[in-house]
Structures are given as structure tokens and as C-alpha cells.
Amino acid sequence: MTLPPRIDPFHAIAISRLAHRMKAEGASIIHMEFGQPSTGAPARAIAEAHHVLDHDGMGYWESQPLKERIARHYRETYGVVVDPERIFLTCGASPALVLALSSRFAPGARIAIARPGYVAYRNTLKAMHLVPVELPCGEAERYQLTSAAIEALDPAPDGVLVSSPANPTGTIISDAEMAAIARVCEERGIALLSDEIYHGLTYEGRAVSMLEKTDDAFIVNSFSKYFSMAGWRLGWLVVPEGYIDAARARMGNLFLTPPSLAQHAALVAFDCRDELEGHVETYRRNRAMLLDALPALGLRRIAPPDGAFYIYADIGHLTDDSLAFCERLLRETGVAAAPGIDFDPEEGRRFMRFSFAVSTELVAEALKRMTPWFREAARRA
């Protein structure tokens, strides 16, 4: 009997389960373990959803107006023209990634990804009988894939998956490096995928879309992060012209359509920029507060949080077991954070990730709780 590929658990989910159990028992919990906004969808989007619920029976549906609005977004934000027929609406970014991988690669294909990187990249590749080629990326590379690293791979991988801003680090790939990555992939015949779900959430520099550098890339995006609609489960995938039919066939058979209600709300959310930019300003304050306070906790080595809403911190001076460390932090302070082992199975045992997509008041409270705790942890180490 052939068994399915073994994939690792998402350890932050276990931390979150413990946090919810503690909360049910009366503990005060601050959730900084997941990358999801604590705010809800924009008010006007919610109002539109109420209207639709009252007046539309809904059903399987792909919103052409939303696809056209996304195409307009690429034109206005990045200066690139995207045919709406290249845009596939999906049940979040995760199915968009599955759709891209299944449309482009055969089992056994080798896909290069950064380490550290989002836990589901490695595990989704394995689950789909693809081979993750993890490239270690540290301080020298700003925790990101580089064109030089891709060019040095022998043999060349079948695909490369980049993410900018990245999870767990928040680092951004520069304009010049994005162009160099696109050039190397074209020269070596490597398929290119770009995860851009944190676009709109930047604090240092600009997030460049890979579509600015090449038209021959799969682009994953989502309404979960910038638009604060994680629970609405809506994302999109931009596919190269030559893969429209393959993607359409897989979309229809694997997923049908994303939620109709979410599509109606998302169309309105695109025009709620004032409210959404207010969220970004909150994240900016939270980021500044953490960067100012972390050295006092002994966390002086962190990845540059150019975007997204994460702090990826080196805790190697305190532990070589980030999972146990995060569990102890939660039990003793009520602050939930993600262990680095999720994002890097080799070096992640000495890293942890905080999400600052919570209120500024909660960030302040988390720091108040953690400051004496980290001081004591340093004394014990």
C-alpha cells in the first residue's frame, strides 16, 4: 500500500488551542500567534453583506465585477495590465497556491523556497507530491531568496516561490532583486510563483509585484491581510496566459467557486481605503513600539520587519526548543506566540514569531507581561 506523504503539523495551531483552552478556564490571553488582523472587514463591506443576505439567494458564482476591479487594482497600483480572465477567485490564498501548483507542475517537480518561510509552503508541496528545495536565508540575505542563490542551484529547480513581504520575517525583496530573480528564472526555464498576500502592509520601501518584472508568473493574493477579511475566505490567483485553461479546469473540479457573500463584500472593500489605511497606521505604531521595547527583553537580533505584521526574533541565547519556550511563555504570561520551528525545521528551534496585528493597547499589555518574564528567562539560561 502506498501511503500519502508525511507532512509536519502547524505547531502554532497547538499553541492557539492551548490559548483558547486557557481562556475558557478564565485566563487573560493575548493572541499574537497567528497572522490575522484583530479588526473585522470594513464597515461598508459588512453593510453590503447584510444587504445581500436579505435580497440574494446566492449560489455558485464568480463575480466578473470583482475580477475587473482586481485588474484595475493592478493597473492603478503597479502600472501593469492584467486581463480579468487571467484572474481566478479562490477560497483564500491557500487554495490559490494549490491551484497554481496543480496547474503548472507534475508530481516530483522541485520547487525552491526560502528557509525560514511560511510553514504551508513546505507542507503543501509535500502533500501534492512535489519536492521542496529549501534554501537557507539568514541575516546576510535579509532572510529572502536571492537571484544568486537561484542561479547557483544545480540542477535548476522546476519552480521558485517567492514571498515579499514574507512570513515569518516581514522582509521585502528590493525592486532590483525582484527583476534579477525574474531574469534568472526566465534564462533557466524556471517557473515563477509570487505570494503577495501582504501587499499594502509595508513600512520600509515598496512591495514590488512580480508582474512588474514578468508577465509569466503565477501571483497569489488574498483579502485576508490588508483587507482584514481572513474569515471570509477569499483570495485570488493571476495565471499566465498559457495556463488559463488548465487553471479553469482545476478550479471547477477542485473548488467550484469561492463564497458568494465574500465576493460581494470584497468588491465594496476595495473602496474602503481610509478605514483600511487606519489599520496600517495601527500596525505601524505597534511595530515601532515593539522595535523600541524588544532590546530590553534581550531580543536584539530580529529580521527586518519591512512589511506584513511580524517580528521574527532570535531567542537562541535563551533556548534551543522554541516550541517548549512558546508554550511556557503562554502558560506563565498569557501571551501566545508562534515557535520558529514552524517556519524553519533546522534553525527555527532558536526563533519565535510575534504577530502585531492586534490593538496597540494589547501590544502594550503584552510587553508589560513579557518584560519581567524574559528577564527571568535570561537569568535561568
Helix (H) or strand (E) holding 123: helix 119-127
Q: What value, to the nearest 5°, has the Cα angle with vertex 214 and ends 123 and 102?
A: 30
Question: What integer best gives the mean pLDDT of the chain?
Answer: 96
Which pLDDT score, from 0 to 100, does residue 107 have? 96
Per the document, the length of the chain is 381
Residue spans in the chain of domains classed CATH 3.40.640.10: 11-41+273-380, 57-269
pLDDT above 70: percentage of residues in the chain: 100
Q: Quote the CA–CA distance of 322 and 178 in Å, as a whole number.
A: 32
pLDDT reading at 1 higher than 90: no
What is the 8-class DSSP label of residue 358?
Answer: S
pLDDT digits (tens, 9 = 90+) for 241-287: 999 999 999 999 999 999 999 999 999 999 999 999 999 999 999 99
Helix (H) or strand (E) holding 298: none
Alpha carbon of residue 282 to chain centroid: 19
Mean pLDDT calculated for residue range 366-377: 96
Prior bond of 240 cis (ω within 30°): no
Confidence of residue 313 (pLDDT cuts 50, 70, 90): very high
Confidence of residue 239 (pLDDT cuts 50, 70, 90): very high
277 phi-psi bin (left φ>0, alpha ψ -120 to 50, beta other): alpha
Confidence of residue 57 (pLDDT cuts 50, 70, 90): confident
Global pTM reads 0.95
pLDDT reading at 209 higher than 90: yes
Q: Can you spell out the DSSP letters for 312-332?
A: EEE-TTT-S-HHHHHHHHHHH
CATH of domain 11-41+273-380: 3.40.640.10
pLDDT digits (tens, 9 = 90+) for 63-96: 999 999 999 999 999 999 999 999 999 999 999 9
Q: Quote the CA–CA distance of 277 and 288 in Å, as a whole number.
A: 17
Which three-class secondary structure string do you get for 238-294?
A: ECCHHHHHHHHHHHHHHHCCCCHHHHHHHHHHCCCHHHHHHHHHHHHHHHHHHHHHH
Q: Quote the CA–CA distance of 353 and 340 in Å, as a whole number.
A: 6
Which pLDDT score, from 0 to 100, does residue 68 have? 98
Which pLDDT score, from 0 to 100, does residue 3 have? 76
pLDDT reading at 308 higher than 80: yes
Q: What value, to the nearest 5°, has the Cα angle with vertex 157 and ends 94 and 312?
A: 50
Interstrand relation of 235-238 and 87-90 (parallel, antiparallel or unpaired): antiparallel
Which pLDDT score, from 0 to 100, does residue 122 have? 96
Which has the closest alpha carbon to 164: 128, 136, 205? 205
Mean pLDDT calculated for residue range 349-364: 97
Mean pLDDT calculated for residue range 95-117: 98
Alpha carbon of residue 260 to chain centroid: 23
Mean pLDDT calculated for residue range 169-191: 98
Which pLDDT score, from 0 to 100, does residue 5 have? 84
Query: Which is more confidently placed, 129 or 6?
Result: 129
pLDDT digits (tens, 9 = 90+) for 315-348: 999 999 999 999 999 999 999 999 999 999 999 9
Architecture of domain 57-269: 3-Layer(aba) Sandwich (3.40)
Mean pLDDT calculated for residue range 40-62: 94
Helix (H) or strand (E) holding 151: helix 147-152
pLDDT reading at 2 higher than 80: no
pLDDT above 90: percentage of residues in the chain: 94
Which has the closest alpha carbon to 346: 166, 116, 160? 116
Could you tell me the CA-to-CA distances from 272 to 76, 226, 265, 357 in Å, in that order?
16, 11, 11, 19
Confidence of residue 355 (pLDDT cuts 50, 70, 90): very high
Which pLDDT score, from 0 to 100, does residue 316 have? 96
Which pLDDT score, from 0 to 100, does residue 240 have? 98
